[in-house]
Amino acid sequence: MDKKLNKKSLTDKKAKEASPVKDLTKNKSRRDFITLTTCAMAGIGTASGLWPLVKSMNPSAEVLAMSTVEVNLSDIQEGQGKKVKWQGKPVFIRRRTKQEIEAARAVDVKILRDPQPDEQRVCKGKDEWLIMVGICTHLGCVPIDHATKDGNGWFCPCHGSYYDTSGRVIGGPAPKNMAIPDYFFPSENVVIIGKKA
């Protein structure tokens, strides 16, 4: 009978030793599931918290609507100009005369503070149209028309910067030429400012 008891106690010991291993593997798979679920919930929570932040950085519909402006040029005579508003900034559109174009191209670019040939400031084939942001590059004032011997230039009354018939700085404290925005001509008498073709 002792032998039977010994066999039974041995099998009980083996069963007890085997069951903790099964419990450990069962606990390990449960622990993995809990860890995976927690990480997934943390990821979802982070994404749902970041989404409004990222969305708020996108431009609003009002800003997108102001990103381009279409201007009819048919009412601008040679030697005349027009001012339009684009993205809250004034834009000068000038239909230059042949004399103004020749004067702008005759300037020695090397002597300019911000050297840039006239050909780079206008659209190829539309040399008579000068389109630029009408803001002085010194402190952001709006220059006014200023007649010169070569035609029409611009003068900033705040600090005395002068710009030639191509909008290039020729005097005063302004460090750079007036900026040229992106634009293209979809038809003969229409220009779209704020986008390239």
Please list the active-site residues.
159
Are 121 and 166 in contact by the 8 Å Cβ rule? The answer is yes
Q: How many CB atoms lie within 10 A of CB 112?
A: 16
Write the DSSP symbol of residue 109: G
Q: Which residue has the tokens 């029409």?
A: 152
**Structural tokens at position 107:** 């300037």
The answer to whether residues 52 and 175 touch, using CB atoms and an 8 Å cutoff, is: no
- Distance (Å, whole) CA 121 – CA 21: 80
User: Tokens 């290039």, residue?
Assistant: 168
Strand order in the sheet with 81-86: 81-86, 89-95, 129-133
Q: Could you tell me if 143 and 134 are in contact, meaning their C-beta atoms sit under 8 angstroms apart?
A: yes
